[in-house]
Amino acid sequence: MKTLRILLIAMGFLYGASDLGLASENNNNHVTFKVTDVPGYWYDTGVDIAGTRSLAIVTPGTSIDFLQNINGTPVAEARHTVTSLLWPSNAKSGELIDQDAANQDNHHVTLKTPGLYVYVCKLHPYMLGAVIVDNGNTPGLDIGKQLTLLGVTKEGTLTFDSASDLALRLLRAFFIVTNPSNWKDYTKANLPYPHNIYQPTYPNVPVRVYSGGSLVGTDDNLPKLGDAIIAQGYDGKVIPAQQKPSINGVGEVWVDTQFELTNVKPDKFPGTISVVEVDATTNNWEVKRKIALPQQNMNNGHNMWPSHNQKQVYQTEWHGKSLFVLERATGKFLQEIEVGHDPAHVMTRVDTQQVHTGLNGEDGVMELNRNPVTGLLTKNRVISMQDPAHPTKPTQPHAHWMGHDGATMATPNANTGDSSLFDFDEDKVVSKLPTGALSIAVGMMPNSSFYYVSNYLGHDLSVVNMNTLPPSRFGDNISVLLGYDPSTGSTTGTVNDPPCTATLLGGHPCLIGGLPIQTPVSPDGKFVITGNTLGGTITILDTTTNKVVKVLACDPGCHGVNFGAKSGSLQNPNGGYYAYVTSKFANRLIVLDYDPNGDGKADDAVIAGWVLLANKTAPNDDRTTGNLGQGGQGVLPIPLVYNGWVQKLPTEWCTKLSASQRTPFPGTTDPASCLH
């Protein structure tokens, strides 16, 4: 009943707003999107259509403006790109748009070919805007016969029917991403049925979609978009109440709740850090602090790493220019240091305690020195990620990873579809190898033998062998689509358990990866665990076979993964690790027990519990007011447990770990353990 009511409301909104929108847009033959840093409204027309302000419905020949500055004053603090992500396959090349580098310029395109066009920022790929060019002579909105998705997979560019599982998945994602009231809110778990159901609203308008070249339905009886998405069976399930893991973690987990809004800080500087207690205390598995940095206008805080002594936490702002230093124990602000455009990830170097942060809006990585007495940072140099012999356009590195001994740094270059390996002894980039479309994150083996790169728009992982001279690609890219058929939604992978039966209408949806993001290697080197934003899933890859062995349901916009120590238990006295997983469009932190019995196999991987990230009563520096607990991205368990870093822990943290946690990959580092 609830569903029907919501759909009727959505239809009402759509017809009302779009009729108005169409009228005004037709008069001017002109639509403007402001490109902003405001969560959910990154491409903002200012006109609400069925809950989204990122959609325009226009007639052929309409001119589309993307506004990033007004008379030279930037609309947003960040640099962005305006890039065609999805388009009707018969669109002309002049109807597509992209830039060679992140920028704050205005852009323009004129659209004539009917169909659906979606735009993305290549730095911040949750930023979406869409235009439907509708030929007004036929009933129903024109989506196009076939659609093409930017990026290249092993199978080639993804071109698929507009009536297909993939088209519906992408449309569903668009209406969730660009409408904050469609984000999955775990505070609703405690409401009475049916208010505890997760059912996003979609515009339920007749659409002209095609399968095998033929129109689906007839002019008098066209399929309706909302009905078609809902029939896929992705939504409509009860949001489960919080479940605390039965086995404790160790220490605490810091989460960047990047889209949370607070009282003092304007919405164009969103984001908090939510600090979660996971140790054996009375209030464990709860948020114990929120940090928004209102005086500093922290803008979309994205990723973190601690100092060796765990006394400071370094925090990036992905839509700004600064790196922040915080006191871990209190959350107190210690330092803001401007590093460059759109710093994304940050890590320390094991041997020197230097700090490296990738400048996602530029070409390099900023290197900073740490004062051993105060713990504060000073800028040292920017390291270019170019191959000096073959310079290209800016690399725009996103989530780099550092070697266990401080000798290496690998970057995924989002703008050049490759990965650079920097050698600190040789002080140069020793390889820059093609990986895939929009390479976004790196995870490295605990002995720096191989590293993994996730390719966001390639839907796969690349492996680089660091042992060869020069380093080289190892094997083919590993698809996380699991044999996904974009038409029907079926998979050929065997990791869906029980087997799924998805068909276009009916069945239950297969778990697939796709649009992979963070991809760290477990501290013992056994697994690579990846957050997938397309499928809303977590995939687990076994490093001995380089095969995906398990896929688990996550949340909309599944994104961040990081490993933290798990307490010892009867089943596994050595403790092992949890993987902590965050999602951009849901407000919970998932605690994944990927190997409960510690036998080195992930067949029994299970979500052991989760933490609600919305919390209005926890101590804070600025009261939370909107998008509560939403925008989960960077996730940092403390103490840090990766090989190389774990041996540097001070005694008070070291003694909390088991012997195997203190030495996760024996024989590779000196000292062998943090117990001296």
Cα gap 557→633, rounded to integer Å: 9
Shortest separation between residue 183's beta carbon and Cu ion, angstroms = 19
In which residue are the tokens 């589309």 written?
A: 64
Shortest separation between residue 110's beta carbon and Cu ion, angstroms = 23
Q: DSSP 3-state assignment of 316?
A: strand
Residue 457 lies near Cu ion (rule: CB under 5 A): no
Candidates 115-123, 425-433, 439-447, 560-568; binding stretch for Cu ion (CB under 5 A): 115-123
Cα gap 435→418, rounded to integer Å: 5
Shortest separation between residue 78's beta carbon and Cu ion, angstroms = 6
Residue 398 lies near Cu ion (rule: CB under 5 A): no
Question: Which CB sits closer to Cu ion, 21 or 557?
Answer: 557
Shortest separation between residue 533's beta carbon and Cu ion, angstroms = 15
Residue 608 lies near Cu ion (rule: CB under 5 A): no
Candidates 11-19, 52-60, 113-121, 471-479; binding stretch for Cu ion (CB under 5 A): 113-121
Candidates 60-68, 123-131, 381-389, 392-400; binding stretch for Cu ion (CB under 5 A): 123-131
What is the CB-side half-sphere exposure of residue 544 using CA atoms within 13 A? Answer: 6
Question: Which CB sits closer to Cu ion, 125 or 140?
Answer: 125
Let me know: does 560 contact 631? Beta carbons within 8 Å: no
Let me know: does 174 contact 49? Beta carbons within 8 Å: no
Among 53, 80, 184, 550, binds Cu ion (CB under 5 A): 80
Q: Is 211 exposed, middle or buried (0-12, 13-18, 19+ CB in 10 A)?
A: middle
Question: Which CB sits closer to Cu ion, 269 or 580?
Answer: 269
Q: DSSP 3-state assignment of 535?
A: coil
Question: Which CB sits closer to Cu ion, 107 or 662?
Answer: 107
Question: Which CB sits closer to Cu ion, 121 or 466?
Answer: 121
Shortest separation between residue 620's beta carbon and Cu ion, angstroms = 27
Among 6, 14, 123, 304, binds Cu ion (CB under 5 A): 123
Candidates 9-17, 80-88, 495-503, 526-534; binding stretch for Cu ion (CB under 5 A): 80-88
Which amino acid does the sequence have at 355? Answer: V
Maximum pairwise Cα distance, the chain:
79
Shortest separation between residue 353's beta carbon and Cu ion, angstroms = 31
Distant-in-sequence, close-in-space partners of 76: CB < 8 Å, separation ≥ 6 = 35, 36, 37, 68, 104, 268, 319
Which one, of 520, 505, 526, lies nearest residue 563 by Cα? 520
Question: Which CB sits closer to Cu ion, 257 or 415?
Answer: 415
Shortest separation between residue 103's beta carbon and Cu ion, angstroms = 10
Q: Which residue is nearest to Cu ion (CB)?
A: 121
Shortest separation between residue 411's beta carbon and Cu ion, angstroms = 18
Residue 517 lies near Cu ion (rule: CB under 5 A): no
Question: Which CB sits closer to Cu ion, 80 or 566?
Answer: 80
What is the CB-side half-sphere exposure of residue 350 using CA atoms within 13 A? Answer: 26
Which one, of 630, 624, 671, lies nearest residue 648 by Cα? 671
First to last CA, the chain: 65
Candidates 122-130, 347-355, 548-556, 627-635; binding stretch for Cu ion (CB under 5 A): 122-130
Site string for Cu ion, 480-509 (x = CB under 5 A): ------------------------------
Residue 302 lies near Cu ion (rule: CB under 5 A): no
Q: Is 644 exposed, middle or buried (0-12, 13-18, 19+ CB in 10 A)?
A: buried
Candidates 120-128, 446-454, 463-471, 633-641; binding stretch for Cu ion (CB under 5 A): 120-128
Distant-in-sequence, close-in-space partners of 208: CB < 8 Å, separation ≥ 6 = 138, 139, 140, 141, 142, 143, 162, 215, 222
Shortest separation between residue 557's beta carbon and Cu ion, angstroms = 15
Question: Which CB sits closer to Cu ion, 207 or 515?
Answer: 515
Question: Which CB sits closer to Cu ion, 45 or 83?
Answer: 83
Candidates 5-13, 114-122, 211-219, 583-591; binding stretch for Cu ion (CB under 5 A): 114-122
Among 34, 107, 124, 328, binds Cu ion (CB under 5 A): 124
* Separation in Å, CA 132 to CA 77, 143, 404, 522, 613: 28, 7, 49, 43, 35
Residue 656 lies near Cu ion (rule: CB under 5 A): no
Cα gap 354→307, rounded to integer Å: 9
Question: Which CB sits closer to Cu ion, 64 or 590?
Answer: 64
**Per-position DSSP letters for 214-228, written without gaps between them:** EESSBTTBPPBHHHH
Residue 121 lies near Cu ion (rule: CB under 5 A): yes
Let me know: does 111 contact 133? Beta carbons within 8 Å: yes
Residue 349 lies near Cu ion (rule: CB under 5 A): no
Question: Which CB sits closer to Cu ion, 68 or 454?
Answer: 68
Question: Which CB sits closer to Cu ion, 173 or 344?
Answer: 344
Q: DSSP 3-state assignment of 414?
A: coil
Candidates 56-64, 79-87, 435-443, 662-670; binding stretch for Cu ion (CB under 5 A): 79-87
Let me know: does 176 contact 556? Beta carbons within 8 Å: yes
Cα gap 39→54, rounded to integer Å: 12
Shortest separation between residue 84's beta carbon and Cu ion, angstroms = 15
Shortest separation between residue 119's beta carbon and Cu ion, angstroms = 11
* Other Cβ atoms closer than 10 A to 200: 23
* Separation in Å, CA 536 to CA 309, 362, 509, 556: 35, 29, 12, 5
Cα gap 438→480, rounded to integer Å: 15
Cα gap 491→318, rounded to integer Å: 35
Residue 107 lies near Cu ion (rule: CB under 5 A): no
Shortest separation between residue 127's beta carbon and Cu ion, angstroms = 5
Question: Which CB sits closer to Cu ion, 81 or 643?
Answer: 81
- Return left, alpha or beta for 34; rule: phi > 0 is left, psi -120 to 50 is alpha, else beta: beta
Candidates 119-127, 169-177, 229-237, 415-423; binding stretch for Cu ion (CB under 5 A): 119-127
Number of residues that bind Cu ion (CB under 5 A): 4
Question: Which CB sits closer to Cu ion, 75 or 228?
Answer: 75
- DSSP state, 439? E
Candidates 78-86, 93-101, 283-291, 451-459; binding stretch for Cu ion (CB under 5 A): 78-86
Q: Which of residues 532-571 bind Cu ion (CB under 5 A)?
A: none
Shortest separation between residue 123's beta carbon and Cu ion, angstroms = 4
Residue 359 lies near Cu ion (rule: CB under 5 A): no
Question: Which CB sits closer to Cu ion, 121 or 444?
Answer: 121
Question: Which CB sits closer to Cu ion, 80 or 169?
Answer: 80
Distant-in-sequence, close-in-space partners of 161: CB < 8 Å, separation ≥ 6 = 145, 146, 147, 167, 209, 210, 211, 212, 487
Question: Which CB sits closer to Cu ion, 320 or 513?
Answer: 320
Which one, of 589, 591, 559, 593, lies nearest residue 575 by Cα? 593
The residues that touch Cu ion, with contacts defined as CB under 5 A, are 80, 121, 123-124
